[in-house]
Amino acid sequence: LAVLLGVSRTTAINAYRQLEEMGLISTRVGSGTYVAEQPKPQPAVRAVPWSQLFTPTPNTQLSSIIRELIAAAADGDTIPLAAGMPDPAFYPFDDFNRLFALQSSRFKSSDLGHIPTEGYLPLRRTLAGLLTERGIDAAVENTMIVSGSQQGLYLVTKLFLEPGDYVIVESPTYLGAIQVFSAANARLLSLPASKRFALDILEDYLIRYRPKLLYMMPTFKNPSGDVMALEERRELLRLAAKHRLVIVEDDPYGELYYEQQPPPSLKALDTYGGVIALGTFSKILFPGLRTGWVVAPDIVINRFAMEKQYIDLHSSNLSQRMLYDYLSAGLLAGHLTLVREQYKKRRDFFAGALKQYCSPYLSFTMPLGGFYFWGTLSQGMLTRQLLHEAAKTGVSFVPGEAFYADNSGNRELRLCFVTHSEARLLEGVKRLGQALQVMAQN
């Protein structure tokens, strides 16, 4: 349509949406767009012109299309390998049920009122202790609780980025970070993935564009699973210190290692005080807790707290109290041992299944930790096309384009291997294999 009318793709897609809203066409992923048999009845008057009242929408067209494709693929019997979710079967139900029952039988009025924006003090203390064990110099004043690390990313954006500011991101990188930086109209500079960290390109960017931030995930990256070597971390920090570069280190997966422990975090190695560390309990416990943290210099924490006040005053004290009780009872270490063992088995199983059912069309490297396999399709095959075929065979994944700020990645895909049992993973991989076979025959 865009080509026929000589308009941009976005205009064409918006036109399709309006037609669909008016009930004139219907769209089904995998089978196309049809003229609707009976238009939807329209309300006589539109009371409020909603779309004219909204602030300008950020340019996140690509990711919203991908969300739709994934949502459509998640219909019915589809096996979703798209979302980055821990397996609910391993959620620590018994511990949290017990702690919740105990806690709720003893609520005092102070438990149900407001707490400081920076978080529930006993939890901040415990967390600072845990982080100190991991080599991070985290005093309580430097440690703040946020509603998931996604909120941490939002706060970073609010604090530092004005429209037109440059941010350096790895390529590929976390979709949620691309979205939040783009929504602030920041300009993203991509650091290409390479065997060795691209220090020369980084230095060139630093001199040429004076970026405000570098957003990094050094350990078990989402989506690629890669780990940055210790020496590379040190080199990066030396360069960052020379240019007084602020690094935002996002580390949701560092504790989920399946071989040896990964190198210390950038924050643990930081001697110039320029690293802001983000962490979360979403991947190691469960995402509904909505509890993450930020470690940063006092002056930054103070501004974070001011901005967070505008959003939600503070994160839920009930979640924070429960997490505090859980950590104080020393239950996290045992849980981590359990999930590392289980996810390692799944990783090995998944790799075997991919080799058996998806060769020679899909290649991948074995992740040493985290949640994801990052695959590449053979020359001439596109992941968007595969997503349509996979919707028919009943399996979903995230197409690679979602993780690039520069529209590349059209032969790549991310598959999450931790959420399902081996039997379901096997079925998912078989269905992916069938979709690949169909593509190979066309």
Whether the link from the prior residue into 252 is cis, omega within 30° of 0, is no
Amino acid at 372: Y
Exactly one of 84, 394, 400, 409 binds ligand PMP (CB under 6 A); that residue is 84
CB of 64 to ligand PMP, least distance (A): 17
CB of 47 to ligand PMP, least distance (A): 36
CB of 13 to ligand PMP, least distance (A): 26
> Both tokens of residue 180?
């939040």
Amino acid at 364: F
CB of 314 to ligand PMP, least distance (A): 16
Exactly one of 58, 122, 176, 264 binds ligand PMP (CB under 6 A); that residue is 176
CB of 283 to ligand PMP, least distance (A): 7
d(CA 364, CA 83): 19
Angle between helices 317-328 and 93-104 (to 10 degrees): 120
Exactly one of 287, 318, 342, 438 binds ligand PMP (CB under 6 A); that residue is 287
Query: Is residue 157 at the binding interface for ligand PMP, with CB under 6 A as the rule?
Result: no
As a dihedral over the C-alpha atoms of residue 153, residue 156, residue 162, residue 166, rounded to 10 degrees, the angle is -80
CB of 284 to ligand PMP, least distance (A): 10
> Both tokens of residue 441?
């025959």
CB of 344 to ligand PMP, least distance (A): 19
Q: Where are the alpha helices (DSSP H) in 244-363?
A: 266-269, 298-312, 317-328, 332-358
CB atoms within 10 A of CB 399: 26
Exactly one of 174, 181, 397, 404 binds ligand PMP (CB under 6 A); that residue is 174
CB of 413 to ligand PMP, least distance (A): 16
Q: Which stretch binds ligand PMP (CB under 6 A): 3-11, 146-154, 351-359, 429-437?
A: 146-154
Amino acid at 343: Y
> Both tokens of residue 132?
């100190």
Helix (H) or strand (E) run with residue 434 in it: helix 422-441
317 vs 434 by CB, closer to ligand PMP? 317
d(CA 169, CA 314): 29
Q: Which stretch binds ligand PMP (CB under 6 A): 20-28, 145-153, 324-332, 374-382?
A: 145-153
CB of 172 to ligand PMP, least distance (A): 11
Exactly one of 63, 117, 150, 219 binds ligand PMP (CB under 6 A); that residue is 150
250 vs 255 by CB, closer to ligand PMP? 250
Angle between helices 9-21 and 61-73 (to 10 degrees): 50
CB of 223 to ligand PMP, least distance (A): 9
Q: How many residues bind ligand PMP (CB under 6 A)?
A: 14
Q: Which positions ≥6 away from 167 have C-beta within 8 Å?
A: 161, 181, 186, 187, 188, 189, 211, 212, 213, 214, 215
Exactly one of 63, 143, 282, 317 binds ligand PMP (CB under 6 A); that residue is 282
Place of tokens 């589809």: 78
Give me the half-sphere count of Cα atoms (radius 13 Å) on the Cβ side of residue 190. Answer: 16
Q: How many residues does the chain have?
A: 442
> Three-state DSSP class for 362?
strand
> Three-state DSSP class for 255?
coil
Residues between 291 and 310 with contacts to ligand PMP, criterion CB under 6 A: 292
Q: Give 413's strand partners.
A: 375, 399
Contact code string over 194-233 relative to ligand PMP, x by CB under 6 A: -----------------------x----x-----------
Q: Which residues bind ligand PMP (CB under 6 A)?
A: 84, 148-150, 174, 176, 217, 222, 250, 252, 280, 282, 287, 292
